[in-house]
């Protein structure tokens, strides 16, 4: 139940950034993506409008906005580059770029964050779904939509053909869902488990195997069993048996529901806070060094996938994301990058204003909560300590805001 987020891009994920990026398809089966663990996308219209303003030179650092014609060429990205030893952007005082709203006096109407019955039930269904089991059914006929385990042998002119035989190993199909030869699965309806019978089909003219395309075939079918899914009921016994390992100290179904309500409402409060501070703070144009950092971080996101596919970034972007090159991809998301830069400036500005800093204990506690272990040496080696501190810093800022909000 505890949501584990990848440290890669965790700094941006705290505000739901890179929300406009196209996620590559197909995804690697074992590749953990930033999109899988991202928070809800935040509205940033106020940020986008403010980001186009020109910063007053007497109030901001000397770094200039990136030139529009600056080429975006992927180079291995150092996540800690441009960050100081405390996890703040090096040489950038965020308060010079952000006029903060009254973030210590945010008041939220109770009805804005109240958990609905639909939301509560959806969470319960997700939990119960994780403990679903299957069981064979033998005492009724197959119906449309059933999941059925079958064996079959396919014949052309009375001769079994290659690839048309389950070899007695059984295969599971769902009628109306599994993609089979037209008419194949429909002919299972009405037959009983344990019954053997023949069906007649015609392979499509454009079937991939030219030896079978357009041919009439007979399949000898054996229905082994109908497979039904059993979802457990939410009871005190279920909670005690399955959820104790979650370390939530839940002893009953009612306590689980109370926990779910608290989590839903906390998520809504955090979302409300993010929207409020974004929409009620004012921004000057972000420095060019920060824009470059955000753009290069975006490129590194796609480079990660390109490497998994054994491609260079440009080729990967062309084939899976639909852009001519990495440069055109980043240029297409210029506005999003500006919004992302403003969001990170906003978090740093609050940290500066409130005097929030990160300690070693904070880092260890963060990783204990996120990964289950206080040891972060592996992440430090890959991302650098400044980046880790920034991830923890931004989480501390959001926790700080959550602690000071008033729900009425």
The pLDDT tens digits of the residues spanning 26-56 come to: 333 333 333 333 333 333 333 333 333 333 3
Answer yes or no: are the C-beta atoms of 160 and 153 closer than 8 Å.
yes
State pLDDT tens for residues 181-234.
999 999 999 999 999 999 999 999 999 899 999 999 999 999 999 999 999 999
**Is residue 88 in some structural domain?**
yes
Residue 398 counted as domain residue: yes
Per-residue pLDDT band for 249 (boundaries 50, 70, 90) equals: confident
CA distance 164 to 121: 44
Q: Is residue 5 part of a domain?
A: no
Among 230, 247, 273, identify where a domain stops. 230
266 assigned to some structural domain: no
Q: Which of 167, 197, 230 is the endpoint of a domain?
A: 230
Percent above pLDDT 70 for the chain: 82
Would you say residue 153 lies in a domain?
yes
pLDDT tens for 92-107 read 999 999 999 999 999 9
Q: Is residue 73 part of a domain?
A: yes
What is the reported pLDDT for 71?
63
Is residue 291 in a domain?
yes
Based on the fold, state whether residues 138 and 47 are members of the same structural domain: no
Task: Count the domains in the chain.
Answer: 2
Residue 251 has a pLDDT of 86
Determine the pLDDT at residue 245. 62
Same domain membership, residue 138 and residue 81: no
CATH classification at residue 206: 3.10.50.40
Is the domain of 289 the same as that of 390?
A: yes
Q: How far apart are CA 195 and CA 55, in angstroms?
A: 78
Name the domain boundary from 230, 251, 266.
230
Mean pLDDT of 284-288: 94
Q: Give a three-class secondary structure readout of the chain.
A: CCCCCCCCCHHHHCCCCCCCCCCCCCCCCCCCCCHHHCCCCCCCHHHHHHCCCCCCCCCCCCCCCCCCCCCCCCCCCCCCCCECCCCCECCCCHHHCEECCCHHHCEECHHHHCCCHHHHHHHHHHHHHCCCEEEEECCCCCCCCCEEEEEEEEEECCEEEEEEECCCCCEEEECCCCCCCCCCHHHHCCCCCCCEEEEEEECCCCCCCCCCCCCEEEEEEEEEEEEEEECCCCCHHHHHHHCHHHCCCCCCHHHHHHHHHHHHHHHHHHHHHHHHHHHHCEECCCCHHHHHHHHHHHHHHHHHHHHHCCCCHHHHHHHHHCCCCHHHHHHHCHHHHHHHHHHHHHHHHHHHHHCCCCCHHHHHHHHHHHHCCCCCHHHHHHHCHHHHHHHHHHHHHHHHHHHHCEEC
Pairing status of strand 196-202 against strand 406-407:
unpaired
88 and 156 fall within a common domain: no
pLDDT at 11: 41
**CA gap 345, 352 in Å, rounded:** 10
Please give the residue range of the domain that contains residue 189: 134-230
- In the predicted structure, residue 4 carries a pLDDT above the cut 50: no
Residue 148, domain member (yes or no): yes
Q: Indicate the average pLDDT of the chain.
A: 84
The overall pTM is greater than 0.95: no
């Amino acid at each position: 139940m505890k949501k584990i987020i990848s440290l890669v891009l965790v700094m941006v994920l705290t505000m739901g950034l890179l929300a406009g990026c196209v996620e590559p398809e197909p995804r690697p089966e074992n590749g953990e993506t930033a999109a899988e663990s991202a928070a809800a996308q935040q509205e940033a219209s106020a940020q986008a409008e403010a980001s186009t303003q020109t910063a007053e030179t007497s109030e901001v650092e000397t770094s200039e906005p990136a030139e529009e014609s600056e080429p975006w060429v992927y180079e291995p990205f150092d996540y800690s580059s441009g960050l100081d030893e405390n996890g703040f952007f090096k040489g950038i005082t965020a308060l010079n770029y952000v006029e903060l709203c009254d973030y210590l006096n945010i008041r939220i109407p109770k009805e804005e964050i109240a958990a609905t019955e639909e939301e509560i039930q959806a969470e319960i269904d997700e939990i119960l779904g994780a403990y679903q089991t299957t069981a064979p059914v033998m005492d009724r006929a197959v119906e449309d939509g059933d999941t059925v385990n079958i064996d079959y042998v396919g014949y052309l002119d009375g001769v079994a053909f290659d690839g048309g035989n389950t070899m007695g190993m059984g295969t599971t199909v769902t009628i109306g869902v599994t993609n089979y030869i037209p008419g194949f699965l429909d002919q299972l309806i009405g037959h009983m488990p344990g019954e053997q019978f023949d069906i007649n089909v015609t392979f499509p003219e454009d079937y991939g195997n030219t030896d079978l395309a357009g041919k009439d075939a007979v399949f000898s079918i054996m229905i082994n069993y109908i497979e039904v899914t059993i979802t457990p009921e939410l009871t005190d016994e279920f909670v005690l048996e399955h959820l104790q390992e979650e370390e939530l100290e839940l002893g009953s179904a009612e306590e689980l529901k109370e926990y779910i309500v608290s989590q839903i409402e906390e998520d809504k409060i955090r979302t409300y806070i993010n929207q409020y501070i974004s929409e009620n703070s004012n921004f000057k144009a972000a420095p060019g060094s920060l824009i470059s950092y955000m753009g290069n971080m975006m490129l590194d996101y796609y480079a990660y996938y390109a490497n998994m596919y054994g491609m260079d970034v440009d080729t990967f972007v062309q084939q899976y994301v639909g852009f001519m090159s990495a440069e055109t991809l980043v240029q297409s998301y210029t506005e999003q990058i500006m919004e992302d830069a403003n969001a990170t400036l906003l978090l740093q500005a609050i940290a500066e204003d409130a005097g929030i800093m990160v300690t070693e204990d904070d880092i260890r506690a963060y990783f204990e909560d996120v990964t289950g272990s206080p040891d972060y040496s592996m992440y430090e080696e890959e991302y650098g300590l400044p980046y880790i501190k920034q991830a923890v810093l931004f989480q501390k800022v959001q926790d700080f805001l959550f602690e000071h909000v008033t729900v009425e």
